[in-house]
Amino acid sequence: MIEKAILVGVETQDNYQVFTESMKELASLTETAQGDVVGELIQKLPTVNKKTIIGKGKLEELTQLILAREADMVIFNHELTARQTAFIEEAVQVKVIDRVQLILDIFALRARSKEGQLQVELAQLSYLLPRLTGQGISMSRLGGGIGTRGPGETKLETDRRHIRNKMSQIKKELKELSAHRERIRQKRQESEVFQIGLIGYTNAGKSTIMNAVTKADTYEQDQLFATLDPLTKKWTLPSGMQMTLTDTVGFIQDLPTQLIEAFQSTLEESHDMDLLLHVVDSSSSDRLQQEQTVMHLLHDLKMDKTPVLTVYNKSDLCSKEVFVPTLFPNCLISARKEQDINLLKDAIIREMKLVLVPYHIELSENQAYLLSELNLKTLVINWKYDEKSHIYIVDGYAKKGSKWLSYK
């Protein structure tokens, strides 16, 4: 069932620069969560009201708007405390949620893998725990029944204990899955495979680029958080070199801290990359803010030392003549155009040459079988057979520490 929602936001001294775009984003998030935006209420205040976010008069106006639009719920563009939610729900008599809950709901909708589902549940429980007030919150889905209540323990204490136990259990399972993922990453490292990670603001076109480059059948939609679970695919360059391309969850303004913590292992997929492709929606009116959000998160996740190529995508939706890039090195493409994908590949190879170490190898005739391995594991720029000396001369680039750099 599609629920009718009214969006509420307060423009303050702290958020006025990003407020308009943030409200647009909230509407997109609501649609992604399969909600129908039937109204919007905005107020300008120096700071939000500590009790109800909006002022008393606006709260009455919101109540009238809910009745007029027959809304089922209200979504605040601010993180609410349990007390604030209770006060507002009592006044408006419909369900009230905040931006964080909305994002968590979308993540729950998108999670496909066992790890993704566990991470979403952990984030939801982390959000719920400090908001338990013991008033009408049923925790039966987390446990309950015979043997779960201690002597003299209140319902609220029991609920909290259930949540903490469940969180410990999930963390244990995630640790095991993370260890398995680490072993896979270690194998990739040892095999000298060049690894590229796709990062960027949600809905910038990462999955579209992934599909265009690797021909992978990744879920791609014009929606926020279309990709949640990390996906790694093999990609072979025209030269024959095999690499991996990993698509990860998109970033967003005010990404809930619960999600950053819970999705640490997913984001770790991008930690060991040799090159990051930062995909940016070049047509977005809020492009600069989105770029800053991603760069700040990269810094917070200690990933800002990895080489980055900025890929300005969706050039077909913006004017190339007036487009001014702000991050370097970069390339401007449309992932929908095949010729642009070739431009992207050229730009990636240029950056790879800066990351990799050049080599010059001479192989005898009876070592010719090594040519195929060189093509597979290194970036071969050119090779030729010298008929006078009967040797193969190969020039290319390899990963630091590769056996080919010291090959004699």
Is residue 4 within 8 A of residue 73, CB to CB? The reply is yes
- Residue 30, marked binder: no
* 3-state SS class at 104: helix
- Residue 134, marked binder: no
- Residue 375, marked binder: no
- Residue 76, marked binder: no
- Residue 342, marked binder: no
Which two tokens mark 56? 């008393």
- Residue 357, marked binder: no
Q: Round to whole Å and give the CA distance between 124 and 134.
A: 17
- Residue 316, marked binder: yes
- Residue 203, marked binder: yes
Which two tokens mark 32? 């992604």
Q: Round to whole Å and give the CA distance between 188 and 197.
A: 13
- Residue 337, marked binder: no
CB-CB neighbours of 164 under 10 Å: 12
- Residue 205, marked binder: yes
- Residue 147, marked binder: no
Q: Round to whole Å and give the CA distance between 242 and 195.
A: 10
- Residue 149, marked binder: no
- Residue 226, marked binder: yes
CB-CB neighbours of 319 under 10 Å: 9
- Residue 382, marked binder: no
- Residue 250, marked binder: yes
Q: Beta strand 194-200 with 275-281: parallel, antiparallel or unpaired?
A: parallel
- Residue 229, marked binder: yes
**Helical (H) or strand (E) element with 27:** helix 19-32
- Residue 159, marked binder: no
Provide the edge-to-edge strand list for the sheet that holds 35-44: 35-44, 3-11, 73-76, 95-98
* 3-state SS class at 352: helix
- Residue 244, marked binder: no
- Residue 216, marked binder: no
- Residue 336, marked binder: yes
Q: Round to whole Å and give the CA distance between 99 and 7.
A: 10
What burial letters (b/e) apply to 133-158, b meaning 16+ CB within 10 Å? eeeeeebeebeeeeeeeeeeeeeeeb
Closest Cα to residue 96, out of 108, 105, 110, 84? 84
* Amino acid letter, residue 78: H
- Which are the contacts of 97, defined by CB distance < 8 A and separation ≥ 6? 73, 74, 75, 76, 80, 85, 105
Is residue 277 within 8 A of residue 294, CB to CB? The reply is no
Q: Round to whole Å and give the CA distance between 289 and 285.
A: 9
Q: Round to whole Å and give the CA distance between 201 and 279.
A: 7
- Residue 20, marked binder: no
How long a stretch of residues is the chain?
A: 408
- Residue 37, marked binder: no
Known binding positions: 200-207, 225-229, 247-250, 313-316, 334-336
Please state the residue numbers annotated as binding site for Mg(2+).
Answer: 207, 227
Binding site for GTP, by residue number, is 200-207, 225-229, 247-250, 313-316, 334-336
